[in-house]
Structure 1
Amino acid sequence: MGERVELAVPGLDATLGVIRHGHFGRPVLVFPSEAGRAEDFENNGMLEVVGDLVDAGRVTFFCVDSLDRYTWSAYDQPTEERARRHRIYQAWLEQAVLPHLAYTLGGWRNDIITFGVSLGAYHAAHFTLQRADVAPLSISLSGSYDPTAWRGFGEIGDNTYFVNPMAYVANAEGDHLAWLRSRANLLLVVGEGPFEWEPTKSYPSTLAFADVLRRKGIPHQLDVWGHDSAHDWPWWRKQFAHHLPRFV
């Protein structure tokens, strides 16, 4: 418990880490904030505020490193290239992290929760929308969900479209939309306080994303906190401790 495991990234001469906290219970795949590491969850007090759930065997956290410095935080690269690189991260999650979870848990689980704050909120929501078959619920705090708004440049193509929930959810239809309606459930939490408007634009982005989900009939909940609720760890700890118990 708490030991870091390195897993190879497909197509790159690199590894990313996964840290497990807990011994039993519903698995939660935890994404860090922008350019963060697996250790950030515990180091920022998130584990402590839900420690009773871990001790009771109700939840197990699998915290992962980000690849953001190579993908979305590589601001010298055009948006389309950053999106292409993000798909490498998605491949690592599917080809390395999911099998690791299955092995560690002693069998496959199809009720994973994804969780993240700030840029990690995007990762959590996007992964659930892509893999609702294994991770049907996401909890996203203070997220921004349109990568084309992230200091981008250059022409936008298929790479960006298929990693942009604001785009591909808005255009979902037919059997795929029916599948999302039957499998996915997203909890979007955001505050109205410091840094939720600028520079993160988390508040308007979260409301816009919730509206897209509403129009498409995809199950979701929107929880807006007040003007004192900031884009920062003290508030994310409160929001996480408030919401997680009802899902595990």
Structure 2
Amino acid sequence: MEEKHFKYYSHHLDRDVDMLVYGSWGYPVLVFPTTLGRYYQAKDMGLIDSVRKQIESGKYKLYCVDSIDADSWYAKHLNPQYRVLNHMQYDKFLHNELVPFIKNECKVEKIGVAGCSFGGFHAANYAFRHPDMVAYLISMSGAFDIRSFTDGFYDDTVYFNNPVDFMPNEQGWRYGHMKIVLGTSDWDICLDSNLKMSGILSNNGIDHWLDVRGWEKHDWPLWHKMFPDYLSRIM
């Protein structure tokens, strides 16, 4: 399995963003790390090995991107307004720089996005904000309400990065092309979040798969089982 490390300079973030890319060719999937995770987390925690055969077969090419959580949602030293604004710069980096780069490199019109836990939020938030760029969304044990990170601050920038707020008002037809899976489990601390998001999608007529697995905790062993299954079944 080919592994490539490179730095992508972002004009929106004014910094290099580290990435690990797995596979020589295949359909691109952008993978977000969990809370405060780095670009090498998916490798270190075995998530890449769980889909090794699918990567080696040339079906998928995985782009593991770095987060800026320490400068945005988890930046408790910053005023909440600036936490959100920093995340908006990250979103601009993704939307205007990285995703177009991936689309061009892989010769596709839309990409897949995936993530576990807080990475599931990142994947869902990006996909729901930019359905024109995403064909597949895989959220594993994600949570979708960001208000606990803003210490009571609320404005349009929070609203448009809080899927439980903006998705009820979206037009369902915009997501008709997208294959969506919300993965969770009976013992998952994010079970209720996934049930709520599934209800929102259903109310808007947005087709999706809510996969609730039994007797599994919010942790890597669950996601190791989910990820290869979802790649094979929804993509």
The TM-score bracket by the shorter chain reads: over 0.9
* Residue number in structure 2 paired with 1:234: 221
* Residue number in structure 1 paired with 2:67: 66
Q: Deviations over 1:182-211 (max 9, x none)?
A: 233321011222xx33xxxx1111111111
Higher strand share: 2
Q: Give 2:212's match in structure 1, choosing from 209, 220, 224.
A: 224
Q: Deviations over 1:141-193 (max 9, x none)?
A: 0111010134x3133101100111111111224xxx4223x233321011222
User: Structure 1 regions of 5+ residues with no counterpart?
Assistant: none
Partners in 2 of 1:102 and 1:142 — Cα distance?
Answer: 27
Q: CA deviation at 1:78?
A: 4.4
Greater shift, 7-16 or 164-173, is seen at: 7-16
Matched, 1:3 2:4: yes
Q: Is the 8 A contact 2:12 2:92 kept in 1?
A: no
* Residue number in structure 2 paired with 1:135: 134
Q: CA deviation at 1:7?
A: 1.6
Matched, 1:244 2:231: yes
Greater shift, 73-82 or 119-128, is seen at: 73-82
Q: CA deviation at 1:103?
A: 4.4
* Residue number in structure 1 paired with 2:191: 203
Residue type at the aligned position of 2:217 = A
Greater shift, 56-65 or 17-26, is seen at: 17-26
Calculate the aligned-residue CA RMSD, in Å.
1.7
Residue type at the aligned position of 2:179 = N
Partners in 1 of 2:75 and 2:193 — Cα distance?
Answer: 21
SS in 2 for 1:87: helix
* Residue number in structure 2 paired with 1:189: 183
Percent identity reads 29
SS in 2 for 1:6: strand
SS in 2 for 1:139: strand
Partners in 1 of 2:161 and 2:123 — Cα distance?
Answer: 12
* Residue number in structure 2 paired with 1:32: 33
Partners in 2 of 1:31 and 1:74 — Cα distance?
Answer: 18
Q: Is the 8 A contact 1:84 1:160 kept in 2?
A: no
Q: Is the 8 A contact 1:8 1:96 kept in 2?
A: no
* Residue number in structure 2 paired with 1:94: 95
* Residue number in structure 1 paired with 2:21: 20
Q: Deviations over 1:127-154 (max 9, x none)?
A: 111222221210000111010134x313
Q: CA deviation at 1:219?
A: 1.6
SS in 1 for 2:138: strand
* Residue number in structure 1 paired with 2:160: 162
Under a length normalisation based on structure 2, what TM-score does the superposition of the two structures give?
0.92
Q: CA deviation at 1:246?
A: 2.0
Q: Deviations over 1:32-64 (max 9, x none)?
A: 111111111111111112111111111110110
SS in 2 for 1:170: helix
Q: 1:111 to 1:13 in 2, by over 3 A?
A: closer
Partners in 2 of 1:102 and 1:183 — Cα distance?
Answer: 17
* Residue number in structure 1 paired with 2:111: 112
Partners in 2 of 1:79 and 1:186 — Cα distance?
Answer: 30
SS in 2 for 1:169: helix
SS in 2 for 1:226: strand
